[in-house]
Amino acid sequence: MRLLVGLGNPGPDYARHRHNVGFMAADAIARRHGLGPSRKHFHGRACEGVIGGEKVTVLKPETYMNDSGRAVAAAMGFYKLDPGQVIVVHDEIDLDPGRLKVKLDGGAGGHNGLRSIDAHVGPDYWRVRVGVGHPGHSDLVERFVLHDFSREELALMDKMVEAIAEGLPLLLEGRDSAFMSKVDVLVHPRPPKAPPEPAGGPPPE
């Protein structure tokens, strides 16, 4: 059993904010893997299903970002989960848009959603850090993350969350490096290699 949490803020005014990429990923995962209908539960919206042979609950806390830990703790308590069975998808300003990193435990790095989760359940859960870029100065961060993606960024994020959804079975298997590689290839496809020239060089013109 795994709990996958997408972080964000509820309501249409926040839907395309950089801070809401976790919600975007949760929705993409539910669509791709045909999870059950979303319902109000655990101070948020939750849906359940099986991904890669493993039962998964996808949770979007509706407590607002700064109180995300309350929803995560409620779901963990209900399912009797350890932190290592929890995966949290969130925005990461220290990664460029279109880049992703996975790590187990660590600090909150100034992210209020992670800080809240750490306070409720400790830091020993998996984090899928989705790059949204940095505004260039710490004083600008709050306004930056609480602002809509540009049209170009949104197209890239749509590709990113679909790649996360497609590669998720690898992460559930514990293959975090393979998951990161798959997402990178899906978001940044390599051009096909040119076929080798025939022996003896190119044909005469």
Q: Where are the domains of the chain?
A: 2-187
pLDDT (0 to 100) of residue 197: 72
* Closest CA relative to residue 8, chosen from 83, 86, 87, 91: 91
Q: How many Å is the maximal CA-CA distance in the chain?
A: 73
Higher pLDDT, 79 or 203: 79
Place of tokens 């607002």: 64
Helix (H) or strand (E) holding 43: none
pLDDT (0 to 100) of residue 6: 98
Average pLDDT over residues 97-111: 93
Rounded distance, CA 116 to CA 72, Å?
9
pLDDT band at 201 (very low <50, low <70, confident <90, very high): low
pLDDT band at 114 (very low <50, low <70, confident <90, very high): very high
* Closest CA relative to residue 189, chosen from 150, 153, 163, 154: 163
pLDDT (0 to 100) of residue 200: 63
pLDDT (0 to 100) of residue 11: 95
Summarised one tens digit per residue, pLDDT across range 3-59 is: 999 999 999 999 999 999 999 999 999 999 999 999 999 999 999 999 999 999 999
- Active-site residue identified among 19, 43, 90, 111: 19
Q: Catalytic annotation on 19?
A: yes
* Closest CA relative to residue 55, chosen from 79, 37, 72: 79
Rounded distance, CA 15 to CA 13, Å?
6
Place of tokens 């505004």: 135
> Model's pTM, two decimal places?
0.92
Average pLDDT over residues 104-117: 93
Per CATH, which fold does 2-187 belong to? Rossmann fold (3.40.50)
pLDDT of 71 > 90? The answer is yes
Do the beta carbons of residue 131 and residue 159 sit within 8 Å? no
pLDDT of 205 > 70? The answer is no
